[in-house]
Amino acid sequence: MEELMGILKDLRPDVDFENEKALVTDGILDSFDIISLVSTLNDEFDITIRPANLVPENFDSAEAMYALIEKLQDEE
């Protein structure tokens, strides 16, 4: 989780990722942020985030992103 938090803070240092629970729903992260994030997560965690995974529920909070990462690592 620490590695994910570092990636998120590098991406958007202005966002409180520890407490925010509606990153996509509230428009805090835009489509460019998500594209950049997906690319970085794929590389850093050796996973493949597919189009079917690109739903707001998977990116609305750091916890949701971490759960997605763990799920995809288990599938690999």
What's the confidence (pLDDT) of residue 74? Answer: 95
Confidence (pLDDT) at 72: 98
Chunked into runs of 10 residues, the chain (76 residues) has average pLDDT values of 97 97 97 97 98 97 98 92
The model's pTM: 0.95
Total tally of structural domains belonging to the chain: 1
At a CB cut-off of 8 Å and minimum separation 6, what does 22 contact? 28, 60, 61
CATH number for position 28: 1.10.1200.10
pLDDT at 76: 73
Give the tokens for residue 29: 């992260």
Write out the residue range of the structural domain in which residue 58 sits: 2-75
Q: Which of 55, 56, 41, 50 is nearest to 6 (CA)?
A: 41
